[in-house]
Amino acid sequence: MTALTHYETPIRPSPFAPRLDALNRHADWTPWSGWRSARSFGDVEMEVSAIRNGATLYDLSPMVKYRIAGPGAVAMLDRLTVRNVAGLPVGRVHYTAWCDDRGHLLDDGTLFRLRADEFRLCCQERHLPWLLDSAQGFDVEIAEVTVEIAALALQGPCSASVLGAAGFDVSGLKPFGIAAAGDIMVSRTGFTGDLGYEVWTPAGQALALWDRLMAAGAPWGLRPIGSAALDVARIEAGFIVAGADFVPAEQALREDRAMSPLELGLGWMIDWDKGHFNGRRALLAERETGGRRALVGLEIEGNIGAEGAIVYLDKRREVGTVTSACWSPTTKKSLALAHLDWKHRESDRLWVEIYALRELRYVRLMERARVVPRPFLDLPRRRATPPGAF
Amino acid sequence: MPSSDIVVIGGGANGLACAIRLARGGARVTLLEAEPEVGGGATTVEFAPGYRVSGLAHLVHGLDARLVAATDLAGQGFRATDPLPTTLPGADPLTVPAAGGGPGDWSTLMDRLGRHATRLAPLRSLPPPRLGAGNDWRALTGVGFGLARAGRADLRDLMRLILINVADVAEDELSDERLRALLAFDATLGAWAGPRSPGTLLLYLNRLALGGARAPMGGMGRLAAALRAAAEGAGVTIRTAARVTAIAVAGDRARGVTLATGETLRADHVVSALCARTTLEGLVGPAHLDTGTVRRIAAMPFHGGAAKLHIALTGAPGFGADLRHRFVLAPSVDAVERAFNPVKYGEVPDRPVAEVLVPTAHDPSLAPEGHHVLSVIAQFAPHAPKDPDAAKAAFTRAVLSVLEQAAPGLSGQIAHVETLMPADIAARYGLRGGSWHHGDLAAERMLFLRPFPEAARYRAPLPGLWLASAATHPGGGVTGTAGWNAAEALLKEAA
Amino acid sequence: MSWDAVIVGAGHNGLVTAAYLARAGMTVCVVERNDWVGGAAVSRELYPGFTYSNCSYVCSLFRPEIMRDLELPRHGLQVLPYEGGAVLKEDGGYLAMFRDHDANRREFARHSPRDAEAYDRYARDVLRHCRFIRPLLMRTPPDPVSLRPRDLGELAWLGRRVLEMSEAQIAEMVRFWTMSIADFLDEYFESPVIKAYLAVSAIIGTALGPMSPGSAYVLLHHYMGDVDGNVGAWGYARGGMGAISAALRASFEVAGGTVRTGSGVRRIVVSGGRATGVELDSGEVLKARRVISGMDARRTYLDCMAEDDLPAEFVGAVRRFRTRGSSGKLNIALDAAPHFPAFPDGAPMLKGDLHFTDTIERMERAYDDWKDGRFSSDPFQDLMIPTMIDPTMAPPGKHFVSSFVQYAPPRIGGQGWTDADRDAFGAACLDQIERFSPGFRDRVLHVEVRTPRELEAEVGLTEGNIFQGELTFDQLFFNRPVPGYAQYRGPVEGLWMCGSSTHPGGGVMGAPGRNAAVEILRTTKHDRSGVRDAYAVL
């Protein structure tokens, strides 16, 4: 039970706080679902560079984590999520999504199969009522374990080397694989689209893990990063974020804001043949009729980020909105994720209207935009096993 | 493996009506009933040696006109009385005729409410209207024209009354407290609401739409037998003592049923006239449903508030009026409200209110010569009391005390008493929570909200499965309307 | 002289109408029986040094458009948003509410981890219903059986708004309007105390229990307010609720209006089928081209008009209009801050509202008592200590405590309230407070106990109904107060209504007064530019 004076700390420190506080000399914090999370450690550009050229640590602890276990766990999760859970081997992870009855996305996240009948679901939003209601009729237990488990994302081309130096041999670990070392678990997962790992530990041992990794990583310039740098990396990788690129269905105040996985470009993960899963009938119908909007990746002319821009057809008709965008220092392009009207999702007549604030005055730009496949940045090192030596 | 076009689960009035309509529509229909006899809540039981009575429902009230027209019930041996007048016993008994007339303000109010009920009544035999496609536009337009023709005053009146509580109407429109009490009692009969609950006048309008209440000769079991004969005559295969344990699902569609014996029956469509919750949660199972549907099912209210008492008497009860009447024991609007208050907390009221029939006054063969039976629906009884046995004993005592007051000397005539609390009704007749309507009937659970929006037009949220019980529009009573409507909807889709 | 308008009653709605009309250039006189203005929005010094908001006690529903149009901030109005609050439980624990989202979630999680994560969906769903209703507050209800172009147009607008929703959402809305708050909360929550806390807004001021169908709508009625654009937030007016009335009066007088206090209206004068003025208790007659009543419908038509001057059917309909009072109020001067041992020291909960009813069942049982013409020995109290954030209302170190009590019947056992009944009622409430705040009684310097009787006698609310008429569907929207007369016009030429008996009903909202002004100005050549459109819901 939470302390009765919990209201005195509405924004809680993460298990890594003693180290993060010391390093974050700019005190550039941002709240992440009730936790204190670094927006940056003072230099976003250096942090982005380290993701692509070195190694970085990002505090993942606030990520919501549920433990789902029991003889009915596989069946329950197969009914809950759109992917095939029975086919997920023990010791593997997959990226997945789940929908409400109308086929609208509730959230996306990663599902870890820890044992034959024990899973961990990691996601952005809180879903306990939905998970519990989805567990009715299945022999399964569900508990939130966010507080118990601390986690770090170790990402970047040198991440395998850092792990090796820290005593974790991950040379044979394939993408989406899990390796255990005592209480510590390493998964080859991440949100950067680069070579990278996530390291999970009981919260009580968080600082020891931090110190071990930072010490081992010093030769590679291992540095902590905040959410600002991560956001650039994840856009380059084409990943979507709840609240930015889609409104979780149970939070949509305006009905038409909820979107389906088909609209969000997640249709590839749906297993239509595994039997019933939540929202399947609605999605089947949508597959026939098409969606209302589509999330697409845009490459925009010029070198100005297009955050919040409106997308036009032939510079005149509004056909969409940019949901996430950045100037990508790695690809040297202006990249964006955008919602487009369904019938214009493959149009080659798209323009983006950018208002760039330069010394208290807006410069209005109308730039050509091309729909391109995601990820924008596809790095072979992300998949190579054993990972290359960097 | 035997095969059939359509399997109907449950042989109550709705299951039978549905099967009859389907068979007449050309389908090969098998009806499965778990009990040895069909009828569901329409049954005649021997509750004590030599004493028989309608086991649950005891009046023929609102039997669907389409069903009546399609079946020769009289030819199958079923007869009912003319609509019964109602007597309010007491020091100053008052009798209200079955239709029309009565004291001045009563008759005025009945005319007024009757007009509203008549205009809304056609909605009962239509699938609930919805936005966009799929409506029976001709019939709906008819209802609309009926309302438009009503004139402004009547329309305004209806829009004010549609969600009002019946107690206020009684207070405004009637001067005699006994009549106010009758209005309050009849509006809340079978409901889980006191007369001060908003929306209770709507329940009364629904009741008016059913027409007069008639007593069945030989008990309601005769009606069940006649419907069975009619169904068989229409070509329905009826299997009793055939308990369905699961609805078979394959390829995301209901394909048939599995019986307790392990036998499976294949079918193109499965219709369930059982409780919608039992059907979806128990026979289909959450794995084939969406979580939102599971939530809907969990939220369905099953608050049976009525108990049924069967009392064997050694002589004629002294209600001070023609024993063929319907007797309502409810002294005031407040008395009805006070009878409701405790059940909200699972407690038993001190002074229940009751509807009493003397079936032996219509058909003496139901009891030994000179003896009588009382069929009593008493309200309100808690559906989930903390101590069921104590609640049952206390409730029985309270009802007998109320009866003794209405018919002095009755206590001395009692040979046997059987009390069915809502939980007993649930156990015996499969009515969850003892709810007459397979789920509370209230404004928030009517039309396209019944039993819940995603299943409101008889199609269950599983392809190939249909719902035909009182859980669907327009709710319960031995009417067969929901079943008939469901059959119409199925035939329309199959066509 | 003859006034362009005489307004009967200087309650907040009367003053709102008056200020709008005066700003449009009319000559307007507001007549008020009491020696002060404000109706039920008053600050009164009933014990030396203490200011009581002795009727209404919180500000949330007051429409921001009216504050803008009538420049109330310029005329001195300050609204202080308050934070959260708590339910004190029988077992010694408590449930607190905080403005901070995550603090609130963690507090809920102490009682139910599931409920903690269910709250967002609940709030979302309630807000969806609010979004539909809010634009209706500042519009005149259409007459649904009229074929006038204006009514047809308004019905079409309404129809379009409905059709903007999906079929599923329409079903949800109809369900919400017809169901009880208890059933509604059951669909989201499992913790009894969380449900008890959230049910409160559905019973305040109404003659419904939390298990009565239709009570969910009442919740909405209390959720539609906003303080500084924060939907659903509540605040205190600095200096008490009278500050709202004072600002309205100032706005009105600056625009050239006249207020006459101590001028009770004996009757509304009708001659030649027109309302031509009012006759005061003194016998003086004020002539007016139009008479606008801010009183409730029963008081206006049954007490202040001759039956012969009104259509017979209309009088019958007014007699059917339900105004049963359901609330009482304690105003308490405290020598020192109350102590609630359940709270940690320095807890912020004292800055919000405090309840002692930790289950819906206890609320419903209190309602059962009301139905039987009793006050409850276990009443529901909404206790606030405005001096925790507005020290101007009491001497330094001392506190004003306001306790709103649900339920108090209009009559006790069919008889009028006696002083002894009132004192027993006050004692029952204080007993309950004492259970959770030992020593509370000893700190009491003065208590004003108000039952529906006092509310009727002082404020003129028939049967003490704080909303000038119950909020059930048969008395809402185009049915309020009487079907066919929901557009602020009385049944007599020149007679208008602007009080809470009209759409959208009670609470210190001002919308009826503003809507009435809009309707009146439609019939004249006066400058209407001062009434600007209601804010859109984006």
Q: Per-residue pLDDT for chain C (538 aa), expressed as one digit of tens each? A: 899 999 999 999 999 999 999 999 999 999 999 999 999 999 999 999 999 999 999 887 789 999 999 999 999 999 988 878 999 999 999 999 988 888 899 999 999 999 999 999 999 999 999 999 889 999 999 999 999 999 999 999 999 999 999 999 999 999 999 999 999 999 999 999 999 999 998 999 889 999 999 999 988 888 776 544 555 567 889 999 999 999 999 999 999 999 999 999 999 999 999 999 999 999 999 999 999 999 999 999 999 999 999 999 999 999 999 999 999 999 999 999 999 999 998 888 999 999 999 999 999 999 999 999 999 999 999 999 999 999 999 999 999 999 999 999 999 999 999 999 999 999 999 999 999 999 999 999 999 999 999 999 999 999 999 999 999 999 999 999 999 999 999 999 999 999 999 999 988 999 999 999 999 999 999 999 999 988 888 8
- Report the Cα–Cα distance between both ends of chain B, in Å, rounded: 26
Short-list B458, B371, B451, B473, CA closest to B416: B371
Contact present, A227 and A51 (Cβ < 8 Å):
no
Q: What is the pLDDT of residues A120-179, one digit of tens each?
A: 999 999 999 999 999 999 999 999 999 999 999 999 999 999 999 999 999 999 999 999
| B282 DSSP 8-state letter | I
Neighbouring residues of A217: CB distance < 8 A, sequence distance ≥ 6? A55, A57, A154, A158, A162, A165, A166
Chain C partners of A5 at a C-beta cutoff of 8 Å?
A: 344
Residues of chain B contacting A105 with CB distance shorter than 8 Å? none
- What is the ipTM metric for this complex? 0.96
B-interface mutation test, from C212, C362, C487, most B Cβ less than 10 A away: C212
- Judged by a CB distance cut-off of 8 A, whether residue C472 touches chain B is yes
Q: pTM of the prediction?
A: 0.96
B196 with B164: CB under 8 angstroms?
Answer: no
- Specify the pLDDT at position A1: 42
pLDDT category, B2, cuts 50, 70, 90?
very low
Name the amino acid, one letter, at A234: R
CB burial readout B394-417, b (16+ within 10 A) else e:
bbbebbbebbeebbeebeebbbeb
Residue C282 has a CB neighbour count (10 Å cut-off) of 10
> According to the model, what pLDDT value does residue C316 have?
97
pLDDT at C227: 46
For testing the chain B interface, which of A74, A76, A79, A82 should be mutated: the one with the most B CBs within 10 Å? A79
Contact A79 B287 (CB under 8 A): yes
pLDDT score for C233: 60
Determine phi and psi for C508, rounding to 5 degrees: -80, 80
Answer for the pair A172, A386: CB distance below 8 angstroms, yes or no.
yes
Q: How many CB atoms lie within 10 A of CB A324?
A: 23
Amino acid C30: pLDDT: 98
Token pair belonging to B347? 């407690």
Which residues on C lie below 8 Å from A31 (Cβ)? 102
Whether C288 contacts C2, CB under 8 Å: yes
As a whole number, mean pLDDT of residues B39-64 equals 97
Q: Give percent of chain B with pLDDT exceeding 70.
A: 99
Q: How would you class A181 by CB atoms within 10 Å of its CB: exposed for 0-12, middle for 13-18, buried for 19 or more?
A: middle
Exposed, middle or buried: residue B316 (CB in 10 Å: 0-12, 13-18, 19+)? middle
Q: Does residue B96 carry a pLDDT above 70?
A: yes
Strand C2-3 relative to strand C285-288: parallel, antiparallel, unpaired? parallel
Q: A100: distance to nearest CA of chain C, Å?
A: 13
Q: Are C279 and C285 in contact (CB under 8 A)?
A: yes
Kindly list the residues from chain C whose CB atom is less than 8 angstroms away from the CB atom of residue A34: 101-102, 105-106
Which of C213, C364, C474 lies closest to B443 in CB terms? C213
Residue ranges in chain A whose pLDDT is less than 50: 1-2
Question: Could you give the CA distance from residue C463 to residue B466 in angstroms, rounded to a whole number?
Answer: 52
Contact A253 C114 (CB under 8 A): no
Q: Is B291's CB within 8 Å of A138's CB? A: no
What are the DSSP calls for C153-188, one per residue?
A: HHHHHHHHHHHTS-HHHHHHHHHHHHS-HHHHHHTT
DSSP secondary structure letters along A243-295:
TTTB--GGG-SSGGG---TTTTT-GGG--TTS---TTHHHHHHHHHH--SEEE
Do residue A278 and residue B290 have CB atoms under 8 angstroms apart?
yes
Show residues of chain C in contact with B159, CB under 8 Å. Answer: 144, 478-479, 483
Question: How many Å apart are CA B201 and CA B207, to the nearest integer?
Answer: 10
Please state, in angstroms and rounded to a whole number, the distance separating the CA atoms of residues C17 and C19. Answer: 6
Chains in contact with chain A (at least 3 beta-carbon pairs closer than 8 A) = B, C
Task: Give, in degrees to the nearest 5, the angle at Cα B339 between B473 and C422.
Answer: 120
Characterize the bridge pairing of strands C380-384 and A93-99: unpaired
